[in-house]
């Protein structure tokens, strides 16, 4: 048994390791489907932010997942790259094949340990699970020095068995032992005590990093994670915006700003650049199509808003009366007019750099500048959030098989809505007209006729990017084909144009993923586009 005195001074300064699983567990959010380029974009931003480990996917899950993990491993430098795998040899082989070219590869293998999982899912005894876990960690070790072991459903596992399996996988060569609250069942006091019990009852625990992975089913993921950290966990697994299976995972931005804001209490350091938090949150929201709730801690639009007159007066007199952190600390600049229609490209490029867009190519900057000039002709005041929306509209680097040429709408409360849409494909213009239940529906029907593709509209969302009658409107659409979801986004001061752009973007994503020929075939139970 470990001497408890060896762990007494946890208040001494320690450095956290942040393990981001947005690309793996975050992508398990219902309706989220990221392509390889989007995963590379997010991974690059995570490195700029300073995360220690990126879990790039579950390599054996599908050929697409394997290629994504492989691409991240080969192209992203500055963080360890991990692939999740079951405690099965073929899974481990595939994981290593995907991460072997990473600058710092990691194999992350897991097996369930709770009674309920052993009885109903694995149909294995504790001894069989113990032997499998140790054997598969040893098998992973022949490939990779850095091996993480996760005891799935650890928070509902009998402590004595959990201690035993942790001790055996450490003997087998594990470098990180992860303790997941897989179904978000635990509470902060209970989960902190579990980590403390592991430290005090596993004789070789000092040879590994203790990691935790908490789900948010009871809204306690961040609280449980911080409680584990207080009790000795040094690697915290989390996702941007708290994305993930069911109710999601512990939110990275909440963990980091919790630690930052309460340095006096936690006395813990990390290497996250907090000024990249807002930028990262916006990028992930844009690429996944999952909007951040307005009252979301740290990155919600209301996080630094003050409605009450008493609060407003206090903040104007002294910000710390009602703000425990500054908007600037997460990279959120105060909105202001930054450029006008007479501004040049150099000034625009400098402003992009100030906003954190440092990795854009010359071509991307030029396209963004052209869109900015077009917007400046329509809008009196151009704000930072307008520029963000223009950049994020093109964040998804997918081939534009179909491009908008023009559209015309005829609509009213006493006429049938009609749309005429012209698309450009391979330099050729295709024009079609269609009717619909309102101008947006008519436009979508006309787009489908032009493309010769029929998709099912699952969701449509519209929000104003900024305030005022001339505000940019941002439209997000979710479409499906045979159960697979594709997200499209479009922005414009004209909400119909934003809708048209979003639907074309969704079609281009579907074509990129499934291929045009596949999409032109009638979907199950759907007649051909006329």
Under the banding of pLDDT at 50, 70 and 90, the label for residue 394 is low
Residue 529 lies in a domain: no
- Which of the two residues, 372 and 131, has the higher pLDDT score? 131
Nearest in space to 394 (alpha carbons), one of 358, 367, 355: 367
Residue 276 lies in a domain: yes
Cα–Cα distance for residue pair 239/33, rounded to 1 Å: 15
Annotated binding-site members: 25, 213, 215, 249
Q: Is the pLDDT of residue 307 over 50?
A: no
Mean pLDDT, rounded, for 148-174: 98
Same domain, 61 and 105: yes
Cα–Cα distance for residue pair 307/347, rounded to 1 Å: 34
Give the HSE-up count for residue 131: Cα atoms under 13 Å, Cβ half-sphere. 5
Same domain, 284 and 213: yes
Q: What percentage of the chain carries pLDDT values higher than 90?
A: 69
Same domain, 317 and 439: no
- Which of the two residues, 387 and 260, has the higher pLDDT score? 260
Please report where in the chains the tokens 């963004």 appear, as a residue. Answer: 368
Cα–Cα distance for residue pair 89/141, rounded to 1 Å: 12
Cα–Cα distance for residue pair 229/375, rounded to 1 Å: 47
Domains contained in the chain, number = 4
Each residue of 351-384: pLDDT tens digit?
A: 787 776 777 788 888 888 888 888 888 776 677 7
Cα–Cα distance for residue pair 456/519, rounded to 1 Å: 12
Annotated binding-site members for Mn(2+): 25, 213, 215, 249
Average pLDDT value over all residues in the chain? 89
Cα–Cα distance for residue pair 319/316, rounded to 1 Å: 6
- Which of the two residues, 507 and 350, has the higher pLDDT score? 507
Full-model pTM: 0.84
Each residue of 222-251: pLDDT tens digit?
A: 999 999 999 999 999 999 999 999 999 999
Same domain, 509 and 445: yes
Which residues constitute the domain of residue 30?
12-288
Residue 86 lies in a domain: yes
Residue 527 lies in a domain: no
Same domain, 113 and 216: yes
Residue 509 lies in a domain: yes
Residue 398 lies in a domain: no
Cα 179 to chain center, whole Å?
22
User: Between 384-393 and 277-288, two packed helices, what is the crossing angle to 10 degrees?
Assistant: 40
Q: Is the pLDDT of residue 4 over 60?
A: no
Same domain, 249 and 101: yes
User: Between 89-99 and 126-141, two packed helices, what is the crossing angle to 10 degrees?
Assistant: 30
Under the banding of pLDDT at 50, 70 and 90, the label for residue 465 is confident
Residues 6+ apart with CB under 8 A from 521: none
Give me the phi and psi of 314, to 5 degrees please: -65, -45
Residues 6+ apart with CB under 8 A from 89: 136, 139
Cα–Cα distance for residue pair 402/508, rounded to 1 Å: 7
Nearest in space to 466 (alpha carbons), one of 357, 351, 384, 394: 384
Same domain, 386 and 512: no
Same domain, 182 and 65: yes
Same domain, 29 and 82: yes
Nearest in space to 434 (alpha carbons), one of 453, 415, 420: 420
Same domain, 158 and 181: yes
Which domain CATH number covers 435? 3.30.160.270
């Amino acid at each position: 048994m470990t001497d408890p005195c060896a762990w007494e001074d946890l208040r001494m300064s320690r450095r956290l390791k942040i393990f981001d699983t947005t690309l793996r567990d975050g992508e398990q959010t219902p309706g989220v489907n990221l392509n390889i380029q989007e995963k590379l974009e997010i991974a690059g931003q995570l490195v700029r932010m300073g995360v220690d480990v990126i879990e790039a996917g579950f390599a054996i899950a599908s050929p697409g997942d394997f290629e994504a993990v492989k691409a991240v491993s080969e192209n992203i430098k500055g963080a360890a790259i991990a692939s999740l795998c079951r405690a099965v040899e073929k899974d481990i082989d595939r994981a290593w094949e995907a991460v072997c070219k990473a600058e710092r590869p990691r194999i992350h293998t897991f097996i369930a340990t709770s009674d309920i999982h052993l009885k109903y899912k694995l149909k294995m005894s504790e001894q069989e699970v113990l032997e499998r876990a140790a054997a598969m960690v040893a098998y992973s070790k022949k490939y990779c020095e850095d091996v993480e072991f996760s005891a799935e459903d650890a928070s509902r596992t009998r402590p004595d068995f959990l201690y035993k399996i942790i001790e055996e996988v450490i003997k087998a060569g594990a470098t990180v032992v992860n303790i997941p609250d897989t179904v978000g069942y635990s509470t902060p006091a209970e989960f902190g005590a579990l980590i403390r019990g592991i430290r005090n009852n596993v004789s070789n625990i000092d040879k590994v990093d203790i990691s935790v992975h908490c789900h948010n089913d009871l809204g306690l993921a961040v609280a449980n994670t911080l409680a584990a950290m207080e009790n000795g966990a040094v690697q915290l697994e989390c996702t941007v915006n708290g994305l993930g299976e069911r109710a999601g995972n512990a939110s990275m931005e909440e963990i980091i700003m919790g630690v930052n804001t309460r340095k006096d209490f936690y006395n813990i350091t990390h290497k996250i650049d907090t000024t990249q938090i807002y930028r990262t949150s916006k990028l992930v929201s844009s690429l996944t199509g999952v909007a951040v709730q307005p009252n979301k801690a740290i990155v919600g639009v209301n996080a630094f808003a003050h409605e009450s007159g008493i609060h407003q007066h206090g903040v104007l007199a002294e910000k710390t009366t009602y703000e425990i952190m500054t908007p600037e600390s997460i990279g959120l600049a105060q909105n202001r007019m930054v450029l006008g229609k007479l501004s040049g490209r150099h000034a625009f490029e400098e402003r992009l750099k100030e906003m954190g867009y440092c990795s854009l190519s010359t071509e991307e900057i030029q396209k963004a500048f052209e869109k900015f000039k077009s917007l400046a002709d329509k809008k009196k005041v151009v704000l930072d959030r307008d520029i963000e929306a223009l950049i994020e509209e093109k964040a998804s680097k997918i081939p534009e098989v179909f491009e908008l040429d023009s559209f015309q709408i005829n609509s009213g409360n006493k006429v049938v809505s009609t749309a005429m849409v012209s698309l450009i494909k391979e330099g050729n213009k295709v024009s079609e007209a269609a009717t619909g239940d309102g101008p947006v529906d008519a436009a979508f029907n006309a787009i489908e006729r032009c493309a010769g593709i029929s998709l099912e509209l699952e969701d449509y969302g519209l929000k104003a990017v900024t305030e005022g009658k001339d505000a940019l409107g941002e439209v997000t659409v979710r479409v499906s084909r045979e159960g697979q979801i594709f997200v499209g986004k479009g922005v414009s001061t004209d909400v119909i144009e934003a809708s048209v752009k979003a639907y074309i973007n969704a079609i281009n994503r579907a074509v990129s993923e499934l291929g045009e020929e596949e999409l032109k075939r009638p979907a199950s139970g759907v007649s051909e586009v006329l």
